[in-house]
Structure 1
């Protein structure tokens, strides 16, 4: 018994010595609060004000100069706020216990339209000696009701066809058609419509060279061209929505593109004055008798045919509204409403062309020598369109060579080596020709050195400073994708996944590869993703199945998966996206 008591006393003595000697503290693990425990942040809208409150735990403080308020969506806006007087702590200005700051909603709504996201950024420390990483808290608020045009513009800028469909699902048919007309007008302000301007202008110019009895009204020509274009968009969209067949992609066949490129070359040579394109006189007289006066004069049928094929082949832009309309038809099965919506969109897209026709009718000068120069300009434009079409399937080096010949030929045609006394303003004209010549020579050097970009013809000589592509250069690896192969690669990734659907005949796809993906901001964000590029040029059954699986239409389309391999349909992007916008979008996906 005495031995047991002695042992207990000895143990007690050792423990007391251990504790009072300070060793007990070494066994205690210092516990610090998590950021959410240390800084409880709220933001509430009430009576035209947003009250933000940060409740700090005991012995926690925030540095005054680290506190920032900003709007981060729909655009970034730094907010100027009235801060309370801070306290002094070890020579720094800090806030403790509770920090309340109010923001007038009117001030915010004067800078952003519609719903917005408020971000509060700050950094704080504990008096016990730990400092937290910078903290950002975000809060969603409903802003002032957007006007209809602002709503449409916001949806289109977001670039997500599914959101366009959601926007229209509960609207009346008449309203939907009117909205697609507005969407078409918005698209008309993009480069999609540019290739059609010289085609229509050359048709109108051809009319000016005819006798008054044979002329057609320029506005009527433009109207027929635009109507044919709008009908084409409607037909193609309905077919794609019902059957899943991409008619535009089917027409990007090399043989078809070669035939139409040849037609444009023939038209260009005609505009240069080498010959005149026309039907035999006997055919013309028969057609005149068979047609009424409106159709017989001016080749109205021919104009309609040009409008039809221009919509299909010359400008195969896939935009969010077009993708949204096709998806609307696919999801609702309402081909009639979808067709009328696409027709209205085509009319809106053709607005600049109608303005050209109207202006040509009122302000076109009388025929004269100026027409020869203008015809030659349109001839060069036709040749450029032909090269652009051939470039959709020819090797990049050969395409670059054709561009070089065009620019050098234009320079020679402008008399770059001719010298005349007292030529006056023609010197400026020759200077422009010299610029074309130098650029053409640059493209020629680029074509034989293996360059593949009109924007970087000397890339093979400046490889040390050129911007590396954000994607793999071996294009063969982008072909032959199936749903199974794609999902296998997605599941193998431990990062979020970006999937880019493109094809050789897609101008916007090339712009993404040349402008957006190599941009430093985009490359920095892409480090957080696995990037997969899928080439749909061959339009195989697997390609069609991929588009159908993710409810996509045409190219370019960019889809996203999160870290858990979930498909983020609301993050899909369609068409060309500017680098800054794409980088911001990537950042939002990675959160």
Structure 2
């Protein structure tokens, strides 16, 4: 909701991550990992063919697939493009469904070596432990084949800390899927025309375009100004195409955290320039040469206007160079020439619309200059700050993103409220609306305080007994006979486990109900032999898993919960015990 609110205020379209109904399959029968992700390998000469048959509604994480070799080398592996999937905690991740095939080539000189393949899969509401397959490459063998039964072992600690998939900003705005979003570049350009360095120059620019002779008729004035605007838009289009051609490898670079952080820093610098801390512009020597070219053109001619427009597109003023540079950096990572060229053309066209209007109708169509021009420029600074949030959300922990959006919206609303006087009634009403907006925007902070309070209450009122292994569980079940018991098996890499912790176990009614039970908990994050043995003995396929035991320490197998369940349904489940 915060992203949509910012969109309404500063003309950007943001996506709201849905947090409802993601995990609702806790009552279904889940497949085992071997059944859900059937792995096989085949050797042909110096090639190893790896294959996963993925069951319907199940998927593999692209960023969890790791291939390492021992006593041999393979050519660099380029994983194919996957599908994009939205996780509440991991954000937008890339996944594989149905089928995944990899063709690996062994490097010469050939020798026998071992290949280790690591991967992790999930389905809605259930995460499988990370797994490892071992494949043997034999120098003298022409064809070998293995399947999922060969040395399936849960991987080590490195999978405990889940990495976010650093998708490009394009995936957020989805320009390639929704070309209508390109219209925002036109609006962006239109807004740039009303910055303090551009709008006051429009009347002078109009006079230069039509020349010093008697004013031409309306039709010719229109075509002169249109020619100028087309020249300027063409320059921006060429810039867009140029950066897209350079930016094709940049898409791969955007998977790198250092690149994302560097780009975020660049956008922050652009925003600071829009706030007036400093100026970004071409070197003076370059500007002087371009100005000389423009001055040598004859005003009042279609050709002269077109050339002046092209040159003007290069002489980016201090007010437009920062957002223009930001737009160029943005289209650079789309990798699409049509998108890149169209976006920058529409931006230039938007900047030229006021020039066409003033050429046709004179100064009367322009609003009067004033402090509002500086406010437009500052607003663009807040727009620029939205871009680093998009980028940094792929690098920083997932729980920080709502706070970044909240802080940006609150800062913008507070700044905006100081620009509005309070003399008139509508102004007072607007101040009230902005104050309400600040309260709504502070929702992540209020939820953090509430969750902290609930978590503290849960820790205070519900004693959790941590289990080390299966034998320890058996002892505890005997020791606490006489009360109903619950075992919570969780891991940090399990999305649904984190949702249970934040959304279900913090509910006051759930806390009150769990007070009447003995709650055991085991952490399977590190995939220790003890946790693996416990999961094997209890036939746990994936996490989260909640097991319930009666007063005699016997499991109520029909009451086992696999996967995420919300607080309301979980409370009903507890009452059914």
- Which protein, 1 or 2, shows the higher relative CO under an 8 Å CA cutoff with sep ≥ 6? 2
Q: TM-score range by the shorter chain?
A: 0.3 to 0.5
TM-score (norm 2): 0.37
